[in-house]
Amino acid sequence: MTTTETPASLLPTKNAKHVPGQPDMWVFVLFESLVFTSYFCVYLYARTQHEGAFLRSQAHLLLWLGVLDTVVLLTSSWAMARCVQHARAGRFELAKRDAWLTAALGFVFLSLKIVEWVRLIHMGNTFTSNQFFQYYFFLTAVHFVHLLIGFVVVGVLILQLKDAKRRRQETVETCATYWHTVDFFWVLIFALLYVVR
């Protein structure tokens, strides 16, 4: 374990009233939350119009696979939170390890999602099969794209942690904010697609 001396700029100010990371990233969080909320409203409205058909299609999803997806992604969020904590304490080697763990768990999630898509397509449930699967593939694919961007974000985070000259706690927290937001969207998607009956 390597503990590097922490410059004062890297440490959070005690009792300082500010959001974690760049305040600008919270514009993204807010805006994307509104956009996703609008998608969810459209989905729920469609669901009320064809409740029986949606329930029959929903039965084709494996709830345990959705739970596994969620557990994997929430664990990645936990790893990211540990990464931020380690970076705050100046333990950059540990922070880097947790950032790699976050990316690895993200990769596991993406692999599970691809397995699930392939399974559904083999069963004849494609993007054009019916309304439920239109929304299912749309919401999971949009989330998938967000997660792909998340890998770029984690890449930036790892580069920052590697280079002592570039390290900024604000960037670490900004990257973490993005990752947690994407995880948060998944929890909502999981609840709406897999759980709500």
Partner 1 sequence: MKRPKLLDDPKRELWLAWYATICFYSLYAIVFFIVTRTQPPGKPWYDPTQVVAWFAGRHEGLLIGFALIFVLGGLSATSIALITYSIRRMSVSRAYSYSYLIIYAVSAVPGFLFICVAMTVGAMRPDRSPEIQRWLYDLGFLSFSGTMGVFLIGSLIWMTAILLDKNRVFPKWFAYLNLCNALTEVVVAPSWIFHTGAFAWNGVIAWWINVVVFGLYTGAFIYLLRCLILREDFGTGPLPDLASKRWHQIFPAEVGVS
Q: What's the closest the beta carbon of residue 27 comes to partner 1, in angstroms?
A: 4
Establish if 39 lies at the interface with partner 1 (CB under 8 A): yes
Residue selected from 40, 100, 127, 184 as contacting partner 1 according to rule CB under 8 A: 127
Determine, following the binding rule CB under 8 A, whether residue 27 of this chain makes contact with partner 1.
yes
Choose between 62 and 149: whose C-beta lies nearer to partner 1: 149
Beta-carbon contacts of 74 under 8 Å, excluding residues fewer than 6 positions away, are: 183, 187
**How far apart are CB 142 and partner 1 at their closest, in Å?**
7
Which one, 86 or 146, has the nearer CB to partner 1?
Answer: 146
Q: Which residues bind partner 1 (CB under 8 A)?
A: 22-25, 27-28, 31-32, 35, 38-39, 42, 46, 127-128, 131, 134-135, 138, 142, 145-146, 149, 170
